[in-house]
Chain A
């Protein structure tokens, strides 16, 4: 099933794309999109978003401080082919949720641009016919539904706002159909959000997002607030909807196991940048970036196969004063002088050219992927 959805490029196309990317230098990505059958639904080009977190001017003058700029997202590029799911994973503060907000236009980018189905996002947002094609699902279904509205009005709001169906009776039918589609009863439309559990509320959020017939959904941690058995229900629902409606997803999560279940491709973010971007299976079978490998090694082991969980040392540095060079170098066992000075570019990895990795150690071939990270460090 998954294989049919991922209209993956052929090996030859890969080789060509890889070569082109090496020649074009640091910012270019392999041309996945052109090799795929469908064009990209969404492209991000060198997207950046900085926040000014300085203290007020007077205080700053007295203290003699400079401005403090938080680089939440600092040069992120990716493209999502139609009908596929790209997931962004990373720890808190890595910028994944900021990317989600940038691609639906909730924040304007500081630098770079978003292209939605071939059109610049700023233009697309100005046109309601384009705007209704993208929707967002948020993490907290307790905060994202108006407690004073009946469920049917919550779901019908986008239909009314975009003027998709004007006849009241037809609106009711559409709401009933949406409720059924997400596994609720049409009678639930009469109720208020507080009458539902977290999982049911997330179903209502999904029904509302679907009501404008979108093609592209941005899902920001949609199952993180849910219990594990409910999470399974929502993930199954999201997969079924993608299959039935041909939806394209940008899925934001911190949970690697969840991401593995739903993604075609996965980008691992660290401190506002993409550390590694790879097809889902490749990322899990052959993680390349030392940070990705550390994350995989740090996940608690349910099967208890005797694998020792190896914690990543240290913590994520502040995005206000990120370290020079590779942002991961203070925690990386493979870091050397070059890593401390030079920002690595996202390049196709040796051995797994379908992964693009921003790591000098991988590029130079001193990452010893067959050994655990600590051993690899000793070898290199």
Chain B
């Protein structure tokens, strides 16, 4: 069997601080196939952006990968020296960040940024790179691309800039795109255009994509599978349809229920009591146990691994054969 394009195995990221070692990511494992879109959701501080940063080798110091592996097309990339990794970024992994202004160099014409990227990574000559730059701008829906190729970033609106960033991430034809909140800074009407575009390009080019966002609507629309993160761990992972419609982990259940519905008014939204713990105070056992309505003895002492629940895998003791009794109880409640 072909190995997955991206494999993340038991990834652990630590931050040494004056008050001791903080574990920001703990035991993260997942894989993405070519042409597949994996959504990563969670609340701020859950570690979703950090997972992306760790994969592309851009963790903010003093953060460091303390354990685990990241493999791209079978090759281990988390141990590569900076220069090697820099070549992989851009050529094999494209990154799209939330704020298009910080990604684009304000002093360069957008065409030059595209041309430079393609010359560096694809080794094409200047004339060919320029021709392709215009083609890419047309592909991402920039009107009058032949003229706009010589414009500066500030001459574009937010939505148009984000399209340029997408063109820039894709132009070297990477195998993997890591997109961190690519539509969050955009208005809803523009958001739809950008998502449709990203999804289409991933399909057409067979690019794998890791899509990090806090917006379940975006995930539901663009992702094939989704990983729900909580306190630096994956709480649940599975096909997007299953996780959205039939979440299994009590945290995913609460998260889905707290999304305000568009098609009706509810008197009182479901809410999860309390807040996600800080990294310095992650409780022993399951990190969700203090907020979990189904928590029992084992949840407070023993950390659950991802367990099969049927269509998805959830890090929850309710789905362990040894806790059958409690599952029955929880289902009766639910």
Which residues of A are at the interface with B, using a C-beta cutoff of 8 A?
1-2, 91-92, 197-200, 227-233, 235-236, 239, 254-258, 260-261, 280-281, 284, 294-295, 298-304, 309-313, 315-316
Contacts and interface: CB of A to CB of B under 8 A. Distances in A.
Interface in B163-177: none
Contact of A91 (B188, B255, B272): B188
Contacts of A281: 265
Contacts of A256: 188, 262
B269 A300 contact: no
14 contacts: A2-B265, A91-B188, A92-B187, A232-B258, A236-B269, A254-B188, A260-B262, A261-B266, A284-B262, A300-B192, A302-B244, A315-B157, A315-B159, A315-B189
Contacts of B255: 228-229
Given A91-B188, A230-B275, 18 more contacts: A91-B187, A198-B44, A228-B258, A229-B255, A232-B258, A261-B260, A295-B189, A299-B217, A299-B262, A300-B191, A300-B218, A300-B221, A301-B221, A309-B195, A310-B192, A311-B190, A312-B189, A312-B193
Interface of B: 43-44, 157, 159-160, 187-193, 195-196, 214-218, 220-221, 241, 244-245, 254-255, 258-272, 275-276
Contacts of B264: 260
A258 B262 CA distance: 8
Nearest to B196: A311
B232 to A, nearest CB: 15
Residue with the highest number of chain A CB atoms closer than 10 Å, among B191, B192, B215: B192
Contacts of A303: 220, 245, 263
Given A227-B43, A232-B270, A315-B157, A261 B192 contact: no
Contacts of A284: 262-263
Residue with the highest number of chain A CB atoms closer than 10 Å, among B217, B220, B269, B270: B269
Contacts, number: 125
B188 A298 contact: yes
A298 B183 CA distance: 13
Nearest to A259: B260
A230 B273 CA distance: 9
- 5 closest pairs, A vs B, by CB? A300-B217, A91-B187, A232-B258, A311-B192, A227-B43
A258 B260 contact: yes
B260 A232 contact: yes
Contacts of A229: 43, 254-255, 258, 271-272
A87 to B, nearest CB: 12
Given A239-B268, A302-B217, A294 B189 contact: yes
Contacts of B263: 284, 303
Contacts of B217: 299-302
Contact of A236 (B254, B262, B268, B276): B268
Given A232-B258, A232-B270, A260-B260, A295 B188 contact: yes
B184 to A, nearest CB: 11
B241 A304 contact: yes
Residue with the highest number of chain A CB atoms closer than 10 Å, among B221, B260, B267, B276: B260
Contacts of A309: 192, 195-196, 221
Contacts of B189: 91, 294-295, 298, 311-312, 315
A316 B195 CA distance: 18
A231 B43 CA distance: 11
Nearest to A291: B189
A36 B279 CA distance: 52
B224 to A, nearest CB: 12
A199 B187 contact: no
Contact of A304 (B159, B188, B244): B244
A295 to B, nearest CB: 6
A232 B193 contact: no
Residue with the highest number of chain A CB atoms closer than 10 Å, among B189, B215, B220, B264: B189
Nearest to B273: A233
Contacts of A316: 187
Contacts of A91: 187-189
A200 B276 CA distance: 12
B47 to A, nearest CB: 13
Given A200-B275, A309-B221, A298 B191 contact: yes
A197 B273 CA distance: 13
Contacts of B275: 197, 199-200, 230
Contact of A228 (B216, B218, B220, B265): B216
A257 B259 contact: yes
B278 to A, nearest CB: 9
A251 to B, nearest CB: 13
Contacts of A313: 193
Contacts of A299: 188, 192, 217, 262
A82 B271 CA distance: 28
Contact of B195 (A235, A260, A300, A315): A300
Nearest to A237: B271
A282 B261 CA distance: 16
Residue with the highest number of chain B CB atoms closer than 10 Å, among A92, A227, A230, A284: A227
Given A1-B267, A236-B271, A304 B220 contact: yes
Contacts of A233: 271
B101 to A, nearest CB: 14
Contacts of A231: 258, 260
A256 B267 CA distance: 16
